[in-house]
Structure 1
Amino acid sequence: MLKQYSDLGPRRLRGLTWLNENTYAMKEGKGEEEKLIAFDLSKNKETVKWTPGSLTSALKADAVEVKSLPAFDKLGTNLFTFSINGAYYLWDVKSGKVKGYKNDVEGISDVHFSNGGDYMTYVKGENIYLKPLAGESKQVTVDGNRDLVYGKAVSRFEFGISEGIFWSPGDEPAFAYYRNDQSEVSDYPLVDLTKTPAGSDLIKYPMAGGKSEKISVELYYAKTGKTVKIQTDESEDTYICTINWAPDGNSVVLVTLNRDQNHMQFKAYNAMTGSFIGRLYEEKDDKYVEPLYPLVFTSDNSTEFIYMSQKNGFMHAYLRKNGEEKQLTSGNFPLTGILGMNQDKSLMFFEGTGENPTESQIFRLSLTDGTFERISHNNGVYHGVLSDNGAYFITYFSSIDVPGKVVIADNKGNVLKQLLSAPDPLEEYDISRPELLNITNEKGTVLHARMIKPHDFDESKKYPVLVYVYGGPHAQLVQNRWWGSAPLWMNYMAEKGYLVFTVDGRGSYNRGKEFEQAVFRNLSELEMDDQLAGVAYLKSLKYVDENRMAVHGWSYGGFMTTSLMLKKPGVFKVGVAGGP
């Protein structure tokens, strides 16, 4: 909206990625002049890898004309896949060769590639198909339908689930996949407004208290055609949250969660027989457990791994080795992502908020001496992409004052090369920059807030206020990133004479277990109290017109809007609830 992600958004680098241990690549130019340029840090050398013309020549056997370079998706060191006109290709960076999978099937989804790229899997008609790099497609499952779905993400993408097919990292080409029996899950209608008159499309949606999906896991071996069923003894409505292959490919570890979501288990299974090997770990909580991250194995087998948990108050890393446990990271802040390890697995890298919950920093952990340290330097939001050997980072940074910087850094955080310092795209516009604030609720808890004022703000005047609300688990609106994470429509409203205010209350993300679990089975109540703490702060400002206050939000924010209007009458003159 309002060109926030185009003309009025900060400049970005296109297609930036690591090709291998020392070489990164990115796109430059447009149209026929577009290039994929690679830069080797070890040789300080720049080369052109592709242009539309050179890629057209490489694909001449398929009579493909490339007008602009496709997105190159990293499969492994020096190995990428890409798609043009629905056909998929494998690019070997080292040899420069491109090979086509020559799939001419339309309407496919959930495409995945084996370790090394010799095979491709995809889903069509709720069944899984296997396509060798050289050979014809083979149907792996045959009974898929609307009620029985193979190879797709389950549980409505909760618990960190984003995929449905998982290739083995071992030498034997095999993949694991979800089998989702949703025959007893109720239908839910979605209104289709593209038709006249409007119609409805039915989807399967497990409602609270209703019948759930029956999820199981199977393995398929590409060379032999053998199918192995994992022999779980779980109840039918157990969630299977992550499927983790051991590095040697001989075992699979499933992370399971009961329907009440308060008992998580890590269970290992033999990958050749599907039989149960043993329980590696379990965790219980009076409220709920959240398995959001895959396991990171530190040896070839399944008995030594690193996992993430917030059982001690904040999300941190723990090492399990032969049944014993050691906490690896600590601090009164959560880790928010695993960035990877270096080549010899002596160092591990994470993202986390650090001391300020509105920020994201990069951290380095030594697995030899236990040193855990922040290696990013400025206040704001960082995101790091680790090179293949863990020696370098591509680091993205922004803050409320910095539109965006991209640098190459070593794994100690030292900047080696700046790739981009984006200019302020809003510099010539008469709009005011958002302000980040801290307020307290009635319990004395600090809450993070954001205020946007008109560019010609006059403290002697009285202004109406629009409170924008979301709230609830896994939501965070106020961050020290460019423009404070605020959409530009808020500045539009500010220029119409409003103050636009947002506060992240209890239940929102990146504040730790106690803060987030406070709303457990009591949704909206404490969140409303914290929104009213925001209102109290606003009323303390002499330039706020407390008789002209509005509240607005979408989705959970729509639910919060209706809750505030109905349960706290008289606070807001008007509420606009979107999709409550």
Structure 2
Amino acid sequence: MKKTLLSFLVCTVSMYTYAQKITLENIYGGKYGERSLRGVNSMNDGENYTILNEQGLVKKTYQSTLNKSIDKDVVLVPGRFEGYEFSSDERYVLLQNNTNSIYRHSHTATFEVYDTQTKSKVKVFDGKPIQEPLFSPDASKVAFAFENNLYIQDLKSNQVTQVTKDGKKNEIINGICDWVYEEEFGFVRHFDWNADGSALAFVRFDESKVKEINIPIYYNNLYPEELRFKYPKAGEDNSEVTLNVFDVKTKSTNKVDLSGVQNYYIPKIKFSNKSNLLTVITSNRHHNNVDVSFYDINSKKVNKLFTETNKAWIETDSFTLEFLNDNSFLWTSERDGNNHIYHYAENGKLIRQITKGDWEVTRYYGYNPVNKTIYIQSNSNNGKRVSTERQISAISLDGKKSNQLTKHAGTNNAAFSKNFTYFINTFSNIETPRTISLVDAKSGKDLGVIINNEQTKERVKADNIGTKELFTITTAAGNELNAYVIKPKDFDPTKKYPVLMYQYSGPGSQNVNNTWQSTNDYWHQMLAQEGYLVFCVDGRGTGYKGEAFKKTTYMQLGKYEVEDQIAAAIEIGKLPYVDAARIGIWGWSFGGYMSSNALFKGNDVFKAAIAVAPVTNWRFYDTVYTERFMRTPQENASGYDDNSPINHVDKFNKGSFLLVHGTADDNVHAQNAYELSEALIQANKDFQMLYYTDKDHGIYGGNTRVHLYRQMTKFLKDNL
């Protein structure tokens, strides 16, 4: 009797263990989260680095990673901090707390300056919530923004100088980007100190002519409040931008005359190593003509160094500009069909193209003047493009020598020490969660693992995660596209599975890469456990396969990308284990735009679609992003209208559609969903809508994500 009962209990425990599944509560409750290093910053000596942890701001030695018996962790500043930044001499530290988000990148926060010598703290601007504080190079001052104006605080006297006085909400912004610059150029601070701290250059935004977007905020308001801000839609007025330089000694401001160069956008300003020379990057409205210039703050003259042009567009949001000791500089360009690094003399004359080949530089890390070596991330693996990978390499300044420092297939990201002796490498691939190691920057030798996240791997294994496999798919038109498929652990090739396709598809994006599971992957794995196969295909227009592949979609966003998703679905439907009558597609933002179009235009191929926060007509989206790829609606009306889901609702004759949006989306406004839903209603089409009150483009907060993904899961089970 006891033996039988014991056998029963063992069997029950075994069955329960096997029955463990991935759940939404576990996904969004952090069960599968990975450990990482927070706030890594190399110190000037190149032998130590700092991080934030529960003790405060902590200094660690790279050597302690090599020898675990060495314990040299030092708490530099005890306490809890949300961010920090050292002055150039590392005597002072800006400590950030009470952070409040504004838009995607921007926030206000309170800051203190900690003196590591005297162990004393001084509040910046008496502890008021400010934006983007920046030490002067000589560490004597901090510049910052407050309510659309710029200020400078002297760290010795604590005297505050107000640099600008005309800042006004929704009219004038000084030194801080307006909404569209922040969202599409990807930064907030638009001011910079010169080398000796005697001048502060800044961009002024006059957004008085830009039309406002008004978003109601409902929750806990008897009468809804309004979020009002300037949002330039495609073809409409942008902010008028001007460049100014403030002289700290005379307290005077000079407006820079940019009439001799492109001056519609100013995507970047940066002082060179010489205190009198400010680099100014400007472009036309189409983003295909970029001028690189020097402004001499002494002579007040602008000298155009060279012009970068392109038949389609230039990546004005992601180019590299780095000055070397002799004031020559590095510049990235796609002019030969791939993104590579070029070396220019101070006078703007091209010295040489440093990196070459049928692959792309994906990130620039820095330059070591001692051995005249630059350090990069690329999708080259020993000189061959592997578009789904990222490797770290060292390349001589003359371009003649190259040494790949990472070896394993997958995705590598580096954080180099200041003297380029070491780098902390964060690696993962589809089989390996985030692994953080210390690497010798000269030889590429792995010196020791700092964090391995094996516990994450064990947790997903215990919950019976399936497989994720990378492959390529060739469409009937002959386009070879990167893809992956997620299968359940108990995949049976003799069965017929329904399929959900996931994609984003935006210009230069990438979903198919050799890296560990994303949060969406965990949901896809959950669906696989429910009996689905999940495919993802990166079609034409996505990135890391060369400029021609990426820019195929120019002037026609949504045409070729949708054709590729439909064509890929047809090929997937031919697989012996796929039920071609049950293929669905989903996506978020650009991906929601795509899934809407795919269902409408491919109504014979797709049975169901989910569109989360979709653009439904590019006329509703912002100037910088949309016009970069489409020009204006006035110039390219057919490009906007021919591929708008709103104009294809009549083709939606069967299948199911779920439309999701947050009502407070400041990026892709809920107007997009409202307009599409009205078009569907007037076309007498049945569909489902799901709105999230006061949620922005990310649709999160509290139980929101669990609720959203539960509704999407139910929709798929009901309709696929």
Same fold by TM-score greater than 0.5: yes
Is the contact made by 1:267 and 1:279 (CA closer than 8 Å) also made in structure 2?
yes
Q: State the structure with more CA Rg.
A: 2
Q: CA deviation at 1:70?
A: 5.0
Q: Where does residue 141 of structure 1 map in the other structure?
A: 164
1:252 to 272, 278, 281: 278
Q: Distance in 2 between matches of 1:207 and 1:150?
A: 22
Residue 548 (structure 2) pairs with residue 523 (structure 1): no
Cα separation, partners in 2 of 1:187 and 1:12, compared to 1, 3 Å:
same
Q: CA deviation at 1:149?
A: 0.8
Q: Where does residue 143 of structure 2 map in the other structure?
A: 121
Cα separation, partners in 2 of 1:367 and 1:267, compared to 1, 3 Å:
same
1:508 to 523, 535, 542: 542
Q: CA deviation at 1:344?
A: 3.3
Q: CA deviation at 1:441?
A: 2.6
Residue 368 (structure 2) pairs with residue 359 (structure 1): no
Q: Where does residue 457 of structure 1 map in the other structure?
A: 491
Q: Secondary structure at the match of 1:503?
A: strand
Is the contact made by 2:497 and 2:532 (CA closer than 8 Å) also made in structure 1?
yes
Q: Where does residue 266 of structure 1 map in the other structure?
A: 292
Cα separation, partners in 2 of 1:75 and 1:357, compared to 1, 3 Å:
farther
2:243 to 201, 217, 220: 217
Q: Distance in 1 between matches of 2:260 and 2:224?
A: 42
Tell me the amino acid that sits aligned with residue 270 of structure 1: D
Q: Secondary structure at the match of 1:487?
A: helix
Q: Where does residue 199 of structure 2 map in the other structure?
A: 174
Residue 433 (structure 2) pairs with residue 403 (structure 1): yes
Q: CA deviation at 1:266?
A: 0.5
Is the contact made by 2:262 and 2:282 (CA closer than 8 Å) also made in structure 1?
no
Alignment TM-score, normalising by the size of structure 2:
0.73
Q: CA deviation at 1:195?
A: 4.8
Tell me the amino acid that sits aligned with residue 129 of structure 2: G
- 36-45 or 528-537, which deviates more: 36-45
Q: Distance in 2 between matches of 1:216 and 1:266?
A: 16
Q: CA deviation at 1:187?
A: 1.3
Q: Distance in 2 between matches of 1:271 and 1:213?
A: 25
Superposition map of 1:541-580 within 5 A: 541-580=575-614
Q: Secondary structure at the match of 2:365?
A: strand
Superposition map of 1:33-72 within 5 A: 36-39=58-61, 41=63, 46-50=71-75, 55=78, 66=79, 68=80, 70-72=82-84
Is the contact made by 1:13 and 1:26 (CA closer than 8 Å) also made in structure 2?
no
Q: CA deviation at 1:478?
A: 1.3
Q: Where does residue 574 of structure 2 map in the other structure?
A: 540
Q: Secondary structure at the match of 2:467?
A: coil
Note the residue ranges of structure 1 that are not aligned, 5 or more in a row.
56-65
Cα separation, partners in 2 of 1:221 and 1:300, compared to 1, 3 Å:
farther
Is the contact made by 1:153 and 1:161 (CA closer than 8 Å) also made in structure 2?
no
Post-superposition Cα deviations, 1:12-47, rounded to whole Å, max 9, x if no partner, equal 2344332233333455974xx678252153997542
Q: Distance in 1 between matches of 2:46 and 2:63?
A: 5
Post-superposition Cα deviations, 1:459-482, rounded to whole Å, max 9, x if no partner, equal 222211111121121321111111
Cα separation, partners in 2 of 1:242 and 1:236, compared to 1, 3 Å:
closer
Q: Secondary structure at the match of 2:33?
A: coil
Q: Percent identity?
A: 28
Q: Distance in 2 between matches of 1:235 and 1:306?
A: 21
Is the contact made by 1:380 and 1:399 (CA closer than 8 Å) also made in structure 2?
yes
Q: Where does residue 647 of structure 2 map in the other structure?
A: none
Q: CA deviation at 1:359?
A: 1.1
From the two aligned structures, give the one with the greater helix fraction: 2
Superposition map of 1:487-498 within 5 A: 487-498=521-532
Alignment TM-score, normalising by the size of structure 1:
0.89
2:338 to 303, 314, 328: 314
Post-superposition Cα deviations, 1:108-156, rounded to whole Å, max 9, x if no partner, equal 2222222243222222221112122131322211111121111112443
Q: Distance in 1 between matches of 2:212 and 2:411?
A: 41
Tell me the amino acid that sits aligned with residue 515 of structure 1: F
Q: Distance in 2 between matches of 1:369 and 1:356?
A: 21
Superposition map of 1:74-153 within 5 A: 74-76=86-88, 78=90, 80-84=93-97, 87-91=110-114, 95=117, 97-134=119-156, 135-145=158-168, 146-153=170-177
Post-superposition Cα deviations, 1:76-111, rounded to whole Å, max 9, x if no partner, equal 463542224554334566x48454244324332222
- 310-319 or 569-578, which deviates more: 569-578
Q: Secondary structure at the match of 2:593?
A: helix
- 436-445 or 315-324, which deviates more: 436-445
Note the residue ranges of structure 2 that are not aligned, 5 or more in a row.
1-23, 99-108, 615-720
Q: Where does residue 58 of structure 1 map in the other structure?
A: none
Q: Secondary structure at the match of 1:104?
A: helix
Tell me the amino acid that sits aligned with residue 141 of structure 1: T
Q: Distance in 1 between matches of 2:350 and 2:508?
A: 31
Q: CA deviation at 1:163?
A: 3.1
Tell me the amino acid that sits aligned with residue 95 of structure 2: F
Q: Where does residue 61 of structure 1 map in the other structure?
A: none
Q: Distance in 2 between matches of 1:73 and 1:172?
A: 17
Structure scoring higher RCO (CA < 8 A, sep ≥ 6) equals 2
Q: Where does residue 453 of structure 2 map in the other structure?
A: 422
Tell me the amino acid that sits aligned with residue 82 of structure 1: L
Residue 533 (structure 2) pairs with residue 499 (structure 1): yes
Q: CA deviation at 1:510?
A: 1.7
Q: Distance in 2 between matches of 1:338 and 1:144?
A: 35
Is the contact made by 1:89 and 1:98 (CA closer than 8 Å) also made in structure 2?
no
Q: Where does residue 62 of structure 1 map in the other structure?
A: none
1:445 to 479, 492, 495: 479
Cα separation, partners in 2 of 1:396 and 1:77, compared to 1, 3 Å:
farther
Q: Distance in 2 between matches of 1:172 and 1:37?
A: 28
Cα separation, partners in 2 of 1:102 and 1:266, compared to 1, 3 Å:
closer
Q: Where does residue 328 of structure 1 map in the other structure?
A: 354
Q: Distance in 2 between matches of 1:17 and 1:166?
A: 22
Tell me the amino acid that sits aligned with residue 218 of structure 1: N
Is the contact made by 2:136 and 2:197 (CA closer than 8 Å) also made in structure 1?
no
Cα separation, partners in 2 of 1:73 and 1:537, compared to 1, 3 Å:
farther
Q: Distance in 2 between matches of 1:189 and 1:236?
A: 32
Tell me the amino acid that sits aligned with residue 453 of structure 2: A
Q: Distance in 2 between matches of 1:544 and 1:284?
A: 46
From the two aligned structures, give the one with the greater strand fraction: 1
Q: Where does residue 678 of structure 2 map in the other structure?
A: none
Q: CA deviation at 1:383?
A: 0.6
Q: Secondary structure at the match of 2:312?
A: coil
- 422-431 or 71-80, which deviates more: 71-80
Tell me the amino acid that sits aligned with residue 283 of structure 2: L
Is the contact made by 1:130 and 1:139 (CA closer than 8 Å) also made in structure 2?
yes
Cα separation, partners in 2 of 1:34 and 1:160, compared to 1, 3 Å:
closer
Is the contact made by 1:214 and 1:237 (CA closer than 8 Å) also made in structure 2?
no
Residue 217 (structure 2) pairs with residue 192 (structure 1): yes
Q: Where does residue 34 of structure 2 map in the other structure?
A: 10
Cα separation, partners in 2 of 1:515 and 1:307, compared to 1, 3 Å:
same
